[in-house]
């Protein structure tokens, strides 16, 4: 079965894929020979350092794309997912390097990536006037609503659409969506941009953007689960229209696995689901706290690149976590991408703790602490009742 799968997985071609290891090695060697023999090395130490680091990363990526172990995803090509696995290694090593610097050196090191970084962020006013209808503004009484219609509205929708494709469960997505809004309420005394109007939290975010994204994601999952997965060789398709359709379907899964989390069926699955929700929320919080402690503006391209990274690795990590939880006898260890994503999430949080402990340790209001303790206590009591007493 495995031999048949390997021979027919990519574009329906009769021969198995080749990793092109010798081709990549030859091209890489030619590039290094050219740089060594035909190119004069500049006298700029900083430039040579940057260039050497980038070249080292590229060599590692070339090695990983051709030699790393394949994960659970094979479309559009296994090399694509091997590339993102290597990016995970590089990103984790970068985070470890930042973690071992002093706060000042770590922030100033970001100047080597972008000279505009390493500067304290200007204070911004969040929240403000929360009236949906402002009678004092006769020209546009709904100006507060229109002010919130910025780029974050489609970002919320698209983010939750992609997260739904990763998690493949409506209940878990809604729980994470609502829980994050509670976290924003609880931590708005630490980060100013968590301070939003109530209708921005619950109407625009949860009810409109997040819910619509989850709904569209579930519809897409329903289509993927019902779609026939019968692949035909590209050169065996007679018409150009069907050939184009076949090429487009190359970017869809080779086969479909429905996630059935069933958290109440066993203690192992219950703890796994709680852990997944916790790590999702921690990764979401890291997005805001990392920008704050490393002095990166929200619109900076590094912030966008981090989101693009998690979009590409999140689905693989969730599939590996599900396989490890659902069939531990066959999947005896956690998948490599899931392991790296978990390590990256924890390392990001440790950087936040080290670089700005004063903000992290700002005391949470007492009534907020009471609510969280009550929620944790109820979860603990339900766990005891469901898996030990009942």
Give me the DSSP letters along 200-245: IIIIIIIIIIIHHHHHHHHHHHHHHHHS------GGG--SHHHHHH
Residue 1 has pLDDT above 60, yes or no: no
More confident residue, 1 or 47: 47
- Cβ-based neighbour number of residue 224 at 10 Å: 15
- Cβ-based neighbour number of residue 65 at 10 Å: 22
More confident residue, 74 or 173: 173
pLDDT for 242: 67
pLDDT for 17: 58
- Report the alpha-carbon distance of residue 230 to residue 286 in Å, rounded: 41
Residue 3 has pLDDT above 60, yes or no: no
Of 43, 46, 66, nearest to 54 by C-alpha is 46
pTM equals 0.87
Q: What percent of the chain has pLDDT over 90?
A: 59
Residue 19 has pLDDT above 70, yes or no: no
Tokens matching residue 111: 């100047």
Residue 13 has pLDDT above 50, yes or no: no
Q: Which residue has 């509205």 as its token pair?
A: 153
pLDDT for 265: 92
């Amino acid at each position: 079965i495995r031999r048949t799968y390997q021979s027919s997985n990519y574009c329906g071609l009769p021969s198995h894929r080749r990793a092109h290891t010798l081709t990549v090695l030859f091209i890489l060697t030619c590039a290094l020979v050219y740089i060594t023999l035909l190119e004069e090395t500049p006298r700029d130490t900083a430039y040579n350092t940057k260039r050497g680091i980038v070249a080292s990363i590229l060599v590692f990526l070339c090695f990983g794309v051709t030699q790393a172990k394949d994960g659970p995803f094979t479309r559009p090509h296994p090399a694509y997912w091997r590339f993102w696995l290597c990016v995970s290694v590089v990103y984790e090593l970068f985070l470890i390097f930042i973690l071992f610097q002093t706060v000042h050196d770590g922030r100033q090191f970001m100047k080597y990536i972008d000279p505009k970084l390493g500067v304290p962020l200007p204070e911004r006013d969040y929240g403000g006037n929360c009236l949906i209808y402002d009678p004092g503004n006769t020209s546009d009484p709904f100006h507060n609503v229109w002010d919130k219609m910025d780029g974050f509205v489609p970002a919320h929708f698209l983010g939750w659409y992609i997260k739904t494709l990763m998690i493949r469960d409506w209940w878990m997505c809604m729980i994470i969506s609502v829980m994050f809004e509670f976290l924003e309420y609880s931590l708005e005394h630490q980060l100013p941009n968590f301070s939003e109007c109530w209708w921005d939290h619950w109407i625009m975010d949860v009810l409109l953007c997040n819910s619509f994204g989850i709904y569209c994601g579930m519809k897409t999952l329903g289509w993927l689960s019902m779609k026939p997965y019968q692949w035909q060789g590209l050169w065996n398709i007679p018409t150009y229209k069907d050939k184009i359709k076949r090429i487009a379907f190359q970017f869809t899964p080779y086969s479909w696995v429905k996630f059935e989390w069933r958290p109440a069926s066993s203690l192992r699955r219950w703890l796994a689901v709680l852990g997944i929700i916790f790590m999702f929320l921690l990764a979401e919080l890291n997005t805001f706290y990392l920008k704050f402690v490393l002095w990166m503006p929200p619109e900076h391209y590094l912030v966008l690149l981090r989101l693009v990274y998690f979009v590409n690795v999140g689905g693989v990590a969730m599939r590996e976590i599900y396989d490890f939880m659902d069939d531990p006898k066959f999947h005896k260890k956690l998948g490599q991408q899931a392991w790296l994503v978990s390590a990256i999430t924890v390392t990001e949080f440790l950087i936040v703790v080290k670089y700005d402990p004063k903000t992290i340790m700002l005391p949470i209001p007492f009534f907020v602490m009471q609510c969280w303790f009550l929620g944790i206590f109820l979860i603990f009591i339900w766990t005891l009742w469901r898996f030990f007493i009942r």
